[in-house]
Amino acid sequence: MENVFIMDHPLIQHKISMLRDKNTGTNEFRKLVEEIGILMGYEALRDLPLKDVEVTTPIETCMTPVISGRKLAIIPVLRAGLGLVSSLLTLVPSAKVGHIGLYRDPVTHEPHEYYCKLPDPIEERIAVVVDPMLATGGSACSAVDFIKQKGGKNIKFMCIIAAPEGLERLHREHPDVQIYVGHLDRELNDNAYICPGLGDAGDRIFGTK
Ligand code: PRP
Ligand code: URA
């Protein structure tokens, strides 16, 4: 599928397996999410535009590439997406951070918005939406809808685990969005949880139940 990138790096796969383990505690879970975010961010940002600038080394003056043009906006979907923000800030410390608050109704599984604040001007930025889980795709599609309504044009979505249903829906509704997936899992269960998945990402990152 064009614009869908499923990671195959062994380090990412290894760390995702550790995340899945129900005996992995909050502290280790957070660290693993952050490490996976750095590894995935490295892949997701490989098409950032460059421009040459003049730099004087101890030997001579040369033209050398730096990241150019549109600035980055990291946009976590609350809550669980917060776990991936520090990873992308490690890679691009000058990035701005927006927030989209969504929760899934436990019965209908429909996303509900409770917060949205994006850095200006969003239309001039590359927006990287981060959320560890892409299940039905409802939350991801709503987040991308908000960003587009506010003028966002260049959007990437990064998740650690996706269900086939959610990946297909996000790609169908937003074929222009580049989607980065750490691992594509088997299916959703009747509660719209990803199988085998890792459980509730927000609860595991923040130690809630
Ligand atoms: C989780 C997850 C995604 C969403 C994915 O959040 O972090 O945002 O579910 O499910 P979907 O693809 O079916 O929409 P949740 O609503 O549990 O909120 P939380 O992060 O605050 O726990
Ligand atoms: N949200 C999660 O945190 N986990 C799932 O498996 C599905 C949605």
Residues serving a catalytic function are 104, 108, 200, 203
Q: Of all protein residues, whose CA lies closest to atom 21 belonging to ligand 1?
A: 79
> Which tokens go with 57?
């080394």
- Ligand 1: atom nearest CA of 142 is 14
Q: What residue's CA is closest to ligand 2, atom 4?
A: 200
| Cα R_g (the chain), whole angstroms | 18
Take atom 1 of ligand 2 and give the residue whose Cα is closest: 200
What's the pLDDT tens digit per position in 148-180? 999 999 999 999 999 999 999 999 999 999 999
Q: Please tell me what DSSP assigns to residue 124.
A: G
How much is the pTM? 0.96
How far is residue 67's CA from residue 69's CA, in Å, rounded to a whole number?
7
For residue 3, give the DSSP letter. Answer: T
Per-residue pLDDT, averaged over 135-142, amounts to 97
- Does residue 70 register a pLDDT over 80? no
Nearest to 95 by CA among 125, 53, 52: 125
- Of the candidates 45, 97, 87, the residue with the CA atom closest to the CA atom of residue 205: 87
Kindly list the domain boundaries of the chain, sorted by start residue: 4-45+71-206
Q: What tens digit of pLDDT does each residue of 83-134 get?
A: 999 999 999 999 999 999 998 898 999 999 999 999 999 999 999 999 999 9
Indicate the class that CATH gives domain 4-45+71-206. Answer: alpha beta
Which residues are near ligand 2 (CB < 6 Å)?
80, 133, 135, 193-194, 197, 200-202
Q: Which two tokens stand for residue 59?
A: 């030997």
Check if the beta carbon of residue 77 is closer than 8 Å to that of residue 114: no
Task: Return the pLDDT at 69.
Answer: 67
